[in-house]
Amino acid sequence: MTKIRRIKGSPDAPYQVVFVDQQGHLLVALTEWYRVRSGQGPTSTRDTYLTCLLSFFTFLSEKGCAWNAAPEQLRPALIDFYRERLGCLIRPDRGRERIEVLPTRDTPLQESTLQVLRSALRDFYLVMKDERLYAFPNPLTSETLMHLKCLHEQAIVNAGAPDHAGIRGETHQRSRRLPTAFIRYPKAREWEPDLRKELADVRAGIHAVLDAMMESRDLSCREKIILELLRNTGARLHELVLLTVGGYRNQGIAGQAQVISKGSLGREIKTIYFVHHPKVMQLLAHYLEHVRPGWDTQRRKRLSGLESGEPLFLTERGTAYSVKSFYYHWYKHAPRFRSLCPVTFSPHDIRHLFITAAPDLRRGHRLF
């Protein structure tokens, strides 16, 4: 059980949440990570990562190990955490400066949750390094494997060429998959698509459901925009939901926007394109002219009067739209049209419609 308490501050305070240990001492690192993470990515991801970090911080406190210790001091505590608290079997791989973690019958977590735990720990130390609060290399990354990866990339024929040039000795995707993590899960499998959802009848059924939802008067213009962007850009759901005013304005370039992509740490570095989809353009124009001003607490009607960091999509109460809000409307309306598709699908499957069905449209654009 965690012995760390969460204390809420006032809405206008620099830190809306602070964390203290059992003795009442402020946990600066965890508080700062939570503050930074509040402006980066989905709230659900931050809260999931926080649950993992609370358990790890409690264990460090019991072991008397500082979170900002050097990697050679933190890694033994990390191994003990997996072995003692999670009941995992540890296999050292000293030649490659990493360990293999295998769950046992005593492990209270599923393999997928162990993956999330590793991501949370890695994310915490990435943020701490970016904030200059951690002075050492990321303890969740093997320096030996990082060096080997750099040497491998240097040896690739035409290493600087893009994939679509057809002259690079290895695809960028394969290069990125070279292992660099200190913790490895041998049994973890890569994501594989549901082949049933790749069949023509299923794809046609998904389009039929989306078309019916577009025609429905019960569905808000805001949800229709998100669904059309999912179908026509291949962007992730949270990238669209968290679209900012500045990202939509995109320095005055119409028909495209800058979104916060996975792993960008809150930076709008990914471009989505919808200039060739008039339905998306029409829905966005209607939303910005007639819907959003009515939900804006200040009743601002012009996009030019909004700050770049403000959310483009709002709730009816004038607060920032969220992935949770979208799913509320999805589960409320989508079941009425389920009979139009031979299988049940999710908003994430809509994104894969675009990725699998429109490779030519993606050529030259970075989607991942």
Residue 322 has which token pair?
A: 């969220």
> In the 3-class helix/strand/coil scheme, how is 141-185 assigned residue by residue?
ECHHHHHHHHHHHHHCCCCCCCHHHCCCCCCHHHHHCCCCECEEC
What's the CA gap between 343 and 202, in Å, rounded?
Answer: 7
CATH of domain 199-362: 1.10.443.10
Q: With a cut of 70, say whether residue 13 has pLDDT above it.
A: yes
Which residues lie below 8 Å from residue 322, measured CB to CB, with a gap of 6+?
42, 43, 241, 315
What's the CA gap between 31 and 27, in Å, rounded?
Answer: 6
Strands 256-260 and 268-273: antiparallel
Q: pLDDT value at position 312?
A: 95
In the chain the first and final C-alpha atoms are separated, in Å, by 37
> Lowest-pLDDT range, 16-20, 204-208, 264-268, 347-351?
264-268
Chain segment 186-211, per-residue pLDDT in tens = 755 555 666 677 788 888 999 999 99
Other beta carbons within 10 Å of 253: 11
State how far the alpha carbon of 31 is from the alpha carbons of 15, 205, 340, in Å. Answer: 8, 46, 48
Residue 173 has which token pair?
A: 């995707």
Is residue 303 packed enough to be buried (19+ CB in 10 Å), middle (13-18) or exposed (0-12)? Answer: middle
> Is the CB of residue 247 less than 8 Å from the CB of residue 312?
yes
pTM: 0.56
Chain segment 296-320, per-residue pLDDT in tens = 999 998 888 899 999 999 999 999 9
**What residue ranges of the chain are covered by domains with CATH 1.10.443.10?**
199-362
Chain segment 125-177, per-residue pLDDT in tens = 999 998 899 999 888 887 666 656 676 667 776 677 676 766 776 776 666 65
> Lowest-pLDDT range, 79-88, 230-239, 263-272?
263-272
What's the CA gap between 312 and 245, in Å, rounded?
Answer: 5
The four Cα atoms 78, 33, 28, 311 give a dihedral, to 10 degrees, of -160
Cα angle 118, 37, 324; round to 5: 90
> Is the CB of residue 205 less than 8 Å from the CB of residue 198?
no
